[in-house]
Structure 1
Amino acid sequence: MIGLGLRLAVAGGREAAVRLVVVAAAVALGTGLLLATLAGINATKSQSLRYAWLNSALSEATTAARPGVDPVWWLGREDYFRGAEMLRLDIAATGPAAPVPPGLPAVPGPGEFYASPALHDLLRTVPAAELGDRFPGREVGLIGDAALPSPDTLFAVVGQAPDVLAAQPSATKVSGFLGGGEATCSRCIVGLNDTMLTVSLSVVATALIFPVLIFIGTATRLSAARREQRFAAMRLIGATPRQVSVLATVESIAAAAAGAVLGFGVFSAVRPGLAAIPFTGATFFPSDLTLTWVDALAVLVGIPVGAAVAARLALRRVRISPLGVTRRVTPKPPRAWRLIPLAAGIAELAYFVGRKPATTDGQTYAYLAGAALMLIGLVLAGPWLTMRTARLVADHAQRPAALIAGRRLADDPKAAFRAVSGLVVALFVMTAASGAITAYVAERARPAAGSVEATSLSATFWPEDIVPGAPSPSVSDIPAGLAELPGVRAVIPIKENDRSVAFDSTNPQGPGLISCADLARTPEYGACPPGARTVAVWSDLIGPRDPGVSPEERVWPASSATDLDARRLLAVVVATDGSDTAKERARTVLATMDPWGRYPATEAEFEADSARTLVQFQRLADVVILASLPIAGCSLAVSVIAGLTDRKRPFSVLRLTGVRIRMLRAVVALETAVPLLVVAAVAIGAGLLAAALFLRAQLDYPLHGLGAGYYAMVGGGLVASLAIIAATLPLLRRITGPETARNE
């Protein structure tokens, strides 16, 4: 029977050959996208592991002394260049047996540094006054890929003398580097949170794999009605149900297996382009996009097995009776119980409003469970919603096309919904993600490009960062040429407030002091109250933002301090014209005042740091959106074509009885467009509700209006889907001619 099944699959005439090619091509596309999803997950995990060694100073396992190992002194800091994060590691070996960081041939000595390829290119093209002067000595080599999270990473490893680095309060002794099995630490701050990464990628994988599997399942059901008739004829001449099942399984497996193998070729073709997509905010090395043998085996086996299951389910009526195809009965209508999972998901998310779990993991799993229930509920409720809508269409139909389409949809709503289920999943995920992220961004709006948050640099000299016994920076240490740099409008010194004051976002007293005379020269940073001579400010002259008050409208609290000149220098704020050249030159000059402290930065750059995780998840949401919509569109196209092929004989008979082709096209369009638009509206509403419940429970934020990009993608996706439906309508004239009824 297996040989006969293969012969029927490859030598069953033109129709069988076309069906085999179309199914194989559809499965190849779906398999390629599935492999790309799995490779993207593996790449993100590989990137996270390469971040791990940068947390070595925070791990008890690597800071403890090790026999026979000379530790290295370690001081890691974060710098910026034109808004991009730049990492710097100052390191000093204490002996010949010191561990060597990954990606380096040796620990650099004093006056030497290694640069990442991206930083190396910048140092060759950017004026030294903007970047190169921050790195003492000479570049002695490139940092290898093993130490870099991304090809675009800006990173420098700078060698220092051991006694100099040992004197720095923030320096740490390190006896080894995290990696492999030690890739996690309790206080890790560099890279992605491992738990959040795993959960988030699982959501992304599910959101992508589900439409892919729907697409593959739809493709394997091409010409299902025609195949049922052929297998029913075999039953009538004596074939047993088991033999028919074997034939159907072999035919489906042949097409799916060919498509699965071709899918690896599709993946190989798109792999270079995938590496350039910043799923996590950073691009990948091509070698990161790999598949494990488990991934490859699961796809190679799972896709044909899934096709076989779909084939057996499609032929249940044939197995029951050889006359089952001829004596068709209306399937049982879907029941209202299908709404229960959707309602349960909504109730689960609503329960946690005001009852947020105490731990991060608890919050993640609570919200993930609610979203998953809603997604499953949408898929289950789809046929019931389609049936109810179809009955309304039929009851209120004023034209034959609407009546026929409504009756047919009501008779078999499961088949109608199956064609649009992939799009429903994509719309729900896209709406929920966009709703949550849009609200977060609106509540914590990024500073505008021309605001003081984006144009002013601040360098803060915290007492704890000063080497014990060394003099603290003073006003006289501010480089004389700083104010003369092109684009620098003002250089403002900030003195230290009383250390006994508790400085936090709820206290109007900031950690710094400034004279009202100095503040009056830069009104964009606020004003003094009437009669005050000195006010308490934050070290960057901005501090915690009040959503209802702009910086220039702020009135700082008066201070009773009268010894401003005698107090130590806390910070220097440099107001610029906002140009990259002015900011980078000022940053480089400010860095020379305290070469071991925190690097100067703008408030906008600090905001970008706090929003980096949000950006990463926004990238993942974009990937889901941009990948799911085309997959759903392909599923819709295959489903519509399959429906036309299976019904070409009844349509040709209708044409022989005088029905116009225009009405048949209207029937097909309504049968597909009605469930598409109705269930899409429900999916969008459910996504907005899920986002609103999550925001209220987790952040106590309201749901904000979605941006133009969301509406453009939703509108574009629906328009593209309707265009796919319209593109299939010309097939009706070709496949419903009189010869079809005669030959059938």
Structure 2
Amino acid sequence: MIGFGLRLAVAGGREALTRLAIIAAAVAVGSGLLLTTLAGVNAVNTQLTRYASMYPSASAGGGDVDPLWWSTREDYFHGKQIIRIDVAATGPDAPTPVGIPTTPGPGEYYASPSMQKLLATHPADQLGDRYPGRDLGTIGPAGLASPGSLLVVMGGTPDAVAKLPLAKRVTSVGDAPALPETTVNLILGVVAGGLLFPVLIFIGTATRLSAARREQRFAAMRLVGATPKQISVVAAVEAATAAVAGTAVGFLLFAAFRGSLAGIPFTGMPFFPSDMSLGVLDVFLVALGVPAGAAVAAQVSLRRVRISPLGVTRRVTPGAPSAYRLIPLLLGVGVLVFALGYRPETSGGQTAIFLPGLLLIMAGLVLAGPWLTMVGARVMARYAGRPATLIAARRLADNPKAGFRAISGIMLALFVTSVAVGTITTIVAERGPAPIGSTEAGTVSMYFGEKSPSAPDTLLADLRAATGVRHATAVVENPDMMSASEPGLIACTDLPSAYGRCVDGADVAEVATGLVPFRESASSTRVWPAASVPLGDLQRLPVMSIVVGTDGSAAAVERTRTVLETTFPAFRVAPNVPGDFESEFANTLRGWEQLANVTIITSLALAGCSLAVSVIGGLTERRRPFSLLRLSGAPVRVLRRVVALESAVPMLAVAGVAVGMGLLAAHLFLRAQMAYTLIAPGPGFYGIVLVGLAACLGIIASTLPLLESITGPETARSE
């Protein structure tokens, strides 16, 4: 039967070859996406393993290996993070950092290629003076988390490095376990589900192409003695043949686009092309699993043949879907509403609430889709003013499951991407970098923590004299921190007007550490409360931070940063601008947003193909009824409107419901998790959705010319 199935698959005429090509194309896209997802997970883990090598674990001492003093700190330049590693070997057997040939000595350093480019293209007083010494060369890919990583490995003496913050003695490097990144893997998994679901719909729709004729052929085989098992083998062989060819093309597509895919910053940083690798298990999973899945889809799509040899002729109108299909959808929304009042403290507990809620909504949308299609069809029929609208509405209401089946993938994909884009847009807006031109965007502050180092008496004067600096002041520690409203103190005469003023009659004010409260904006109208500490006691209190206000230019900000770092080389927290960390976090989120946009575009394209295949299959199966309508006087344009409305109306209705539910779920998640109010996505998101839907409609329109050619008078004859 396998050989017979192969002959039917490849020697069944133009219709069979067309069906094989469509199934192969669907499988090629699906397998390529699956390979990309698996390679993306491997790339994330590989990247995190290299990132972990920058933070080795301290050794307990002993052994024959000379320890290496190690201190890792973070710096920033133009909003980009720089990782600085200070090392000092205590003997000839000390380990060497990953990616460089030797450990640098005092006055020497290695830099990543991107860092060397920055050092060469910017004035030394803005960046180079922070890393004095002789450049020994570049750090290799093995020591970099990403091709664009900004990394410097500075050499020093053991005594000097031992006094740096976070200094540790290590006897091995490069073997630290990778930090778990369940969030990124979870996002990749959810996006993969959002992509693969429409692919499976596409495969199932392509398999159903000309299903009526194939069912009749298989039924005839049953009547001449073929068993249900033999029929299943023939159907499975036909689908598996196309699936094997499509899977091979999917591997070729992945190999061709692997380099481009590696450049997408899913984690905020692009990957090396070699990171997008596949393991042996991954290859076998796709090479064997995808054809097997296609074979199962083929058997399920032709299940009516296995009822009886006459099962094809025993067709009745399926029962109408009931409103009970809305229950899972409402339960999912209810879970997210419940999370507004109860949010577990642990990440595991939060996942146990939010993830089931989102999955319930996704499952509920798919289950409720036929009911929504039926309701929309009945409304359309009630207000139909033309024959085409009435025919299309009656057909959709007669079998809403079939009408919804081809566009169910787009519903899930739009929901997933709407949740992702809505959440990411809001977080970036709330926690992104300081707005350009704002006071805080030009504020550079250095926080000293518990141990305040001694500073030159001329430091503030030197800072004020620098080009682009408007003011520089010191904030001292508030001794009444437990009862005070703010942790710092400043003399009212030293408080810059851009950050507010003291309450009337006060000499000393309680202020925020950087004069800009956390997650707030600087304001000249802010009124700081009076402090109980006398003005004369300020000189005896330790300095908590130094705050420098600049004109906001990149040159002034980086020049100020360089002065502070060279004055305090043993900094624990580098001089920063409000939003430095948030800017890095926002870059990561934008990488996920790019992934969401890819999901939208790909899902809409697959949905359009599924609709096209569904339309072609429906036209083929209804050639005789449409021919009879033409003979009875119905113009071809009326029949075209019928076919267009049957496909376009459910798709547009489902798109609106999916986007609305996605934004609602995003709002509930943000309110429960972060107390944020949803900020609607920008025009780009809606533009992508509209362009994609228009492309789907165009694909549907391209199939309509077939209607006239296949519904001639000769087709109306009784078969």
The residue that corresponds to 2:499 in the other structure is: 525
Match of 1:50 in 2: 50
Corresponding residue SS for 1:552: coil
Question: What's the counterpart of residue 129 of structure 1?
Answer: 125
Matched residues in 2 for 1:384 and 1:66: separation? Answer: 71
Give the 3 Å change call, closer, same or farther, for CA 606–309 of structure 1 in structure 2: closer
> Hey, what does 2:278 align to over in structure 1?
291
Look up the match of 1:602.
577
1:319-468 matches, cutoff 5 A: 319-444=306-431, 446-464=433-451, 466=453
1:511 to 488, 496, 501: 488
Counterpart secondary structure, 1:464: coil
2:556 counterpart SS class: helix
| Cα distance in 2, alignment partners of residues 455 and 581 from structure 1 | 11
Cα distance, 1:418 vs structure 2: 1.2
For residue 599 of structure 2, the aligned residue among 619, 624, 633 is 624
Asked if the contact 2:26–2:199 (Cα under 8 Å) also holds between the matched residues in 1, the reply is no
CA distance in 1, matches of 2:482, 2:167: 27
Whether the 8 Å CA contact 1:346–1:370 is kept in 2: the answer is yes
Q: What's 1:501 paired with?
A: 481
1:705 shift after superposition: 3.7
CA–CA distance in structure 1, aligned partners of residues 344 and 506 of structure 2: 47
State the match for 1:709 in structure 2: 684
Q: For residue 601 of structure 1, give the secondary structure of its aligned residue in structure 2.
A: coil
CA separation in 1, counterparts of 2:452 and 2:237? 72
1:103 aligned to which of 99, 102, 110:
99
Specify whether residues 103 and 649 from structure 1 end up closer, same or farther in structure 2 by C-alpha distance, changes over 3 A only. Answer: farther
Contact 2:434 2:440 in 1 (8 A): yes
Size of the aligned set, in residue pairs, is: 716
Residue 190 of structure 1 aligns with which residue?
none
Q: Secondary structure at the match of 2:83?
A: strand
Instruction: State the 1:122 CA deviation.
Output: 1.9
Which stretch of the first structure deviates more once superposed, 651-660 or 84-93?
Answer: 651-660
The answer to whether the 8 Å contact 1:281/1:619 transfers is no
Distance 1:543 1:391, change over 3 A: closer
* 1:74–1:173 contact (8 Å) kept in structure 2: yes
1:183 matched to 2:182 = no
Matched residue, 2:704: 729
Q: Of the candidates 458, 465, 474, which is equivalent to residue 476 of structure 1?
A: 458
Secondary structure of 2:312's aligned partner? coil
RMSD between superposed Cα atoms in Å: 2.6
Displacement of 1:719: 2.8
Separation in 2 of the partners of 1:178 and 1:399?
A: 72
Change (3 A) 1:697 1:572: closer
Q: Is the 8 A contact 2:50 2:174 kept in 1?
A: no
Cα deviation 1:444-485 (Å, max 9, x = unaligned): 56431111111121233445264xxxxx114324573x4444
TM-aligned CA deviation for residue 167 of structure 1:
2.6
Query: Per the alignment, do residues 48 and 205 of structure 1 end up closer, same or farther by CA in structure 2, a change over 3 Å counting?
Result: farther
Deviations 1:338-363 (A, max 9, x none): 32322322232233321112311110
Q: Bigger CA drift: 414-423 or 310-319?
A: 310-319
Instruction: Give the secondary-structure state (helix, strand or coil) at the position aligned to 1:250.
Output: helix
Which one is further off, 654-663 or 560-569?
560-569
- Taking the TM superposition and a 5 Å limit, the aligned residue runs for 1:19-98 are 19-56=19-56, 59=57, 62-98=58-94
Shift of 1:285: 0.4
Task: Tell me the SS of whatever aligns to 1:305.
Answer: helix
- Residue of structure 1 equivalent to 2:238: 251
| Partner SS, residue 298 of structure 1 | helix
Per-residue CA deviation, residues 145-175 of structure 1 (Å, 9 max, x unaligned), is 1221110110111111101112335422223
- Deviations along 1:397-422, one digit per CA (max 9) or x if unpaired, are 33221222122112222221111111
Compared with structure 1, are the counterparts of its residues 646 and 255 closer, same or farther at alpha carbon in structure 2 (3 Å cutoff)? farther
What TM-score does the superposition give when structure 2 sets the normalisation length? 0.93
Structure 2, gaps ≥5 residues long: none
Does the 8 A contact of 1:51 with 1:148 survive in 2?
yes
| CA-CA distance at 1:626 after TM superposition | 4.0
CA apart distance, 1:568: 4.9
Residue 150 of structure 1 aligns with which residue? 146
Q: Distance in 1 between matches of 2:152 and 2:345?
A: 39
Separation in structure 2 between the aligned mates of residue 499 and residue 172 of structure 1, nearest angstrom? 32
* Partner Cα separation in structure 1 for residue 2 and residue 242 of structure 2: 14
Residues 607, 298 of structure 1: alpha-carbon distance in 2 compared, 3 angstrom cutoff: closer
Picking from 559, 576, 589, the partner of 1:585 is 559
**In the alignment, is the contact (CA less than 8 A) between 2:202 and 2:610 conserved in 1?**
yes
Distance 2:714 2:120 in 1: 73
Which of the numbers 206, 217, 221 marks the counterpart of 2:204? 217
Which amino acid in 2 is paired with 1:433?
Answer: A
Q: 2:469 aligns with which of 469, 483, 489?
A: 489
Cα offset, 1:628, TM superposition = 2.9
- CA contact 2:452–2:542 (8 Å) conserved in 1: no
Contact 1:37 1:208 in 2 (8 A): no
CA distance in 1, matches of 2:499, 2:536: 22
Q: CA deviation at 1:623?
A: 4.3
1:247 deviates by 1.5
Q: Using a 3 Å threshold, how does the CA distance of structure 1 residues 328 and 121 change in structure 2: closer, same or farther?
A: same
1:226-254 Cα offsets, whole Å, 9 max, x none, are 32232233334443333322221111111
Give the equivalent residue in structure 1 for 2:9: 9
Contact 1:131 1:584 in 2 (8 A): yes
CA contact (8 A) 1:493 1:569 kept: no
